[in-house]
Chains A and B, each alone.
Chain A
Amino acid sequence: MKTFAVLQLAGCAGCEVSLLNADEWISEYRLAYMPLVISAHDIPEVDLLLVSGGIRNEEDLYNLQRAVPRARKVVAIGTCAISGGVASLGDRDDVREVFLIDRRHDVPQLLPKCHPIDTVVPVDCYLPGCPPTPELFMALLTEPPGFKMSAIVCVECGRKKLRDMRPARFSGFQRGDVEPGVCLINQGFLCIGSSTRGGCRAPCPQAGHPCVGCRGPSDSLIEKEASVWLSSISRVISGLTDIPPAEIDRELRSPHLSLFLFQFSDYSGPGRTPRPKEKVM
């Protein structure tokens, strides 16, 4: 029987909770380490190591470096492990200053920034999502033969894009009054499902909430600079609305999107190697 371990760094445990709903792995794997559900205080040699959360403090760094050599394959699961996720909102200069003066005794000291795990250890595979759905965890762990995912969230959403419903401005971040079956962009929402990688089955836009891009860029964009992704989204919104491009651009850089939009961008650009799309689920 194959073995796997789950190492949780600085995160919210949402990835672990999602994994618990994907319990069909129980028959194929032995779970060797996952402090949330098992009393085991050390990681043994395992076939597969799933790492969630970013590196926020010195203990995260130590635990990660100690665990990785014991695993044959390392997977970064969730946005925090891939890019720092929500905690990287704390990397803004004005916020960081407050963090750095916070010193307490006996507890792991905070690092100056929150780091993605592949800045420190080699990663074999990325499973983006905030959190990845149970189905995606299943696909990762048991590789079911029938599993297929679409290139982008738009395809899985199923809302219809209309050519004749063109709002002149954004109608706010989100609201209760949502027209069923009609594309959220036509209704003036900043939905970025058109270039976000699929596989999640579009639960948010289907529920009437714009896609915030937690799965990151689709394969056609993932190895390119973040600006290419931004202009692709901008083009789609311009095609379906009469909202001025400057306004679209401004909204795209707002904090909740920055949690997710830039999760693969830190490696793109001149002189830096992007994460290859073959490694991203």
Chain B
Amino acid sequence: MPTLTFPLSRIEGHARVVIDVEGGEVKSASFQATEFRGFKRLVRGVPAEQMTVIVPRICGVCSTAHHIAAVKALEDAFGVKPPPLARTLRELLLLGQLIQSQATSLFIFTMPDRLSVSSILEPDLDKGAGEYSQIAKHALAVRRAGTRLITAAGGQFIHPVKAVVGGMTGGIDGGTARMLKDELAAQLPLACELIEVYARTSRELRERIGTWGDDAPAYYLTSVSDSLPNYDGDMLRLLAPDSSVSAFPARSHHEHLTYEQPDYSYSGRTSCRGEALRANSLARINMAESMGTPLADGYLKRFRDNFGRPAHAILLFDLARGIELVYAIERAMQILAAPLNEEDTDVPYTPKDGEGYGLVEAPRGPLIHHYVIENGLIADAEFVIPTVHNIKSIERALMVAARRYITGKRIDMELEQAVGRVVRAFDPCIACATH
């Protein structure tokens, strides 16, 4: 019986899905990451302080998260605490990345699945290209507002440079802050409109295919705090299927999470007590008490009224991204309303040898950088990547989809679309996962 291979697109990086079928029965579904550069190895011997320039290059989509995780790992090793304004500026950086990333995932990666087109940038001409070109225009504008925020707070929006050990190289002047706030204010209604189109077309998709996807309980992992979301967190929190929540610091992640390396992929795979684990938007939305901003809280309430808490179906990851997109715009506007260049942005420090952990909540989930420094050089490095936490859950959801569409003697051609939807719901980043 056949081995079905599905190439993947509209995700970051190189990966494919392989489904093994025997006698009409689905035997396995594997997610194969097919690229590898070897950052864990190639950073050995690098001067520790240069990590902030080198490791953003793990991923151009998630470079802001790697930049800040690197700085925080070095600060942990050196025993440095950045001043409050630096932390605020880093939060702004992470919010900019959240806007960029969630807008990209929602409108560029997954919206085409709702509209049955191959891309919103090059829509099939016989399928109402006029309406879609408007969607593309607005989606790119919302996304660009996020990139402008990163540029202002980080120097450039891909591989930013302004976060340094001890703080930031500078704040944001009043004029720039006002301009950014105005742009975000202009994009907020566009974002809300896009989210409404997204929600409506998602419901239509649900009607057509009859499911929101794999909805069995799982473990959820995030590092945002339990009251208001703060993406610059310092503890990981784990929500178990029995609804209990445990918290632990980054340095003890090996005690709570189990990592394995399948030989069919360059990505690792995490489990928790033998079960599937989930990170990314749905983990945060399931664990947040509230978002703390008016529009986002409205969307959160609607989400919970419809799907309960915790919600498990995988296509809800996508809807949860919409709540976060609105939150990130609203929260960034709040921060930009206060002065961002009137206090110190850094403290002096002395580099030293030792060990450090840096934790940030990246759009795809909690990201940990762990460095061992000897003679000022990196002796060992560990990158704990959010996408890796989701691989087992992706494979579980692929099994659910495969069993739905492969029956007895027949393979329903909807399977190909389903594979894409399952993978994109988790918004995996392969450059990060394999690093």
Determine the distance from Cα of A10 to Cα of B297 in the docked complex, in whole angstroms. 40
Measured CB to CB, the nearest residue on chain B to A85 is: B57
Binds A, one of B116-124, B221-229, B275-283, B401-409: B116-124
Instruction: Encode contact with A along B144-183: 1 for CB under 8 Å, 0 otherwise.
Output: 1001000100111111011011111110000000000000
Determine the distance from Cα of A168 to Cα of B162 in the docked complex, in whole angstroms. 25
Task: Kindly list chain B residues whose C-beta atoms are within 8 Å of the C-beta of A178.
Answer: 169-170
List 28 A-B pairs, Cβ < 8 Å: A8-B14, A12-B59, A13-B12, A21-B144, A32-B122, A37-B109, A38-B122, A39-B112, A39-B420, A56-B36, A86-B57, A90-B37, A95-B44, A98-B38, A99-B41, A104-B264, A106-B263, A173-B50, A176-B168, A178-B169, A180-B170, A203-B161, A207-B169, A208-B162, A209-B161, A255-B46, A255-B54, A256-B47
Determine the distance from Cα of A56 to Cα of B86 in the docked complex, in whole angstroms. 38
Chain B interface residue bracket vs A: 35 or more
Task: Kindly list chain A residues whose C-beta atoms are within 8 Å of the C-beta of B86.
Answer: 176
Nearest 9 A-B pairs (CB), nearest first? A176-B346, A14-B60, A207-B155, A208-B169, A38-B119, A209-B161, A90-B42, A176-B167, A256-B50
Question: Is B379 close to A, CB under 8 A?
Answer: no
Question: Is B347 close to A, CB under 8 A?
Answer: yes
A41 near B61: Cβ-Cβ < 8 Å: no
Task: Kindly list chain A residues whose C-beta atoms are within 8 Å of the C-beta of B50.
Answer: 173, 254-256
Taking A16-B60, A20-B140, A207-B154 as known contacts, 11 extra A-B pairs with beta carbons closer than 8 A to each other, sorted by chain A number, are A17-B158, A37-B120, A38-B118, A95-B38, A105-B264, A107-B32, A107-B36, A110-B36, A176-B170, A206-B155, A259-B54
If A57-B35, A90-B38, A212-B53 touch, does A131 touch B167 (CB 8 Å cutoff)? no
A87 near B9: Cβ-Cβ < 8 Å: no
Count, chain A residues at interface, CB 8 A: 67
B49 near A108: Cβ-Cβ < 8 Å: no
Instruction: Encode contact with B along A17-48: 1 for CB under 8 Å, 0 otherwise.
Output: 11011010010001110011111110000000
A56 near B119: Cβ-Cβ < 8 Å: no
Measured CB to CB, the nearest residue on chain B to A59 is: B34
Task: Kindly list chain B residues whose C-beta atoms are within 8 Å of the C-beta of A204.
Answer: 155-156, 161
If A35-B9, A41-B7 touch, does A87 touch B42 (CB 8 Å cutoff)? yes
Q: Which residues from 35 to 71 on chain A have a C-beta closer than 8 Å to any C-beta of chain B? A: 35-41, 56-57, 59
Task: Kindly list chain B residues whose C-beta atoms are within 8 Å of the C-beta of A37.
Answer: 10, 108-109, 119-121
Chain B min CB distance to A134 (Å): 9
Chain B min CB distance to A47 (Å): 15
A12 near B35: Cβ-Cβ < 8 Å: no
B38 near A10: Cβ-Cβ < 8 Å: no
Task: Kindly list chain B residues whose C-beta atoms are within 8 Å of the C-beta of A95.
Answer: 38, 41-42, 44
If A37-B119, A107-B34, A176-B164 touch, does A131 touch B170 (CB 8 Å cutoff)? no
Chain A min CB distance to B354 (Å): 18
Question: Is B387 close to A, CB under 8 A?
Answer: no
B41 near A106: Cβ-Cβ < 8 Å: no
Measured CB to CB, the nearest residue on chain A to B140 is: A23
